[in-house]
Amino acid sequence: MTTWYTSDHEWISVDGDVGTVGISAFASDKLGDVVFVDLPEIGRKVKKEGEMAVVESVKAASDVYAPVAGEVIEVNSVLTDAPETVNADPEGKGWFCKIKIADPSQLDGLMDKAAYAAWSATQ
């Protein structure tokens, strides 16, 4: 499984044609305590870089963007009752949704973990 990152601080971990999507630890730290997550509906078609979800913290509400185009096939319903999971494990149990990837070539412009770490250190 390979994980890629966007410049909007989302990550996508790819297994076959399914990508699990969440926000990076960097984004989670910047947001502060997450108090609500508005997840997309299963079956929703998302566009690359299109709004996919909303995460609200004590500081602000932020849109979460789809790293690739595709169809939402699963959501992390744990976040409905325990949004703080995003802070506790943003790149693990705090994932938002799973997307059936429409065009795997859209992954080509994303950063790997090392590139993202170097880039986010400048933010």
Per-residue pLDDT tens digits of the chain, which is 123 residues long: 799 999 999 999 999 999 999 999 999 999 999 999 999 999 999 999 999 999 999 988 999 999 999 999 999 999 999 999 999 999 999 999 999 999 999 999 999 999 999 999 998
SS3 109: helix
Model-level pTM greater than 0.75? yes
Report residue 21 as tokens: 């999507």
Phi-psi region of 40 (alpha: psi -120 to 50; beta: other; left: phi over 0): beta
* Domain annotation covers residue 120: no
The confidence score (pLDDT) of residue 119 equals 94
CATH number at residue 62: 2.40.50.100
Residue 54 lies in a domain: yes
Please give the DSSP secondary-structure letter assigned to residue 9.
S
Rounded Cα gap, residues 3 and 108, in angstroms: 12
Q: C-alpha dihedral over 113, 123, 103, 39, to 10 degrees?
A: 100
Domain assignment present for 112: no
Domain that holds residue 86: 2-106
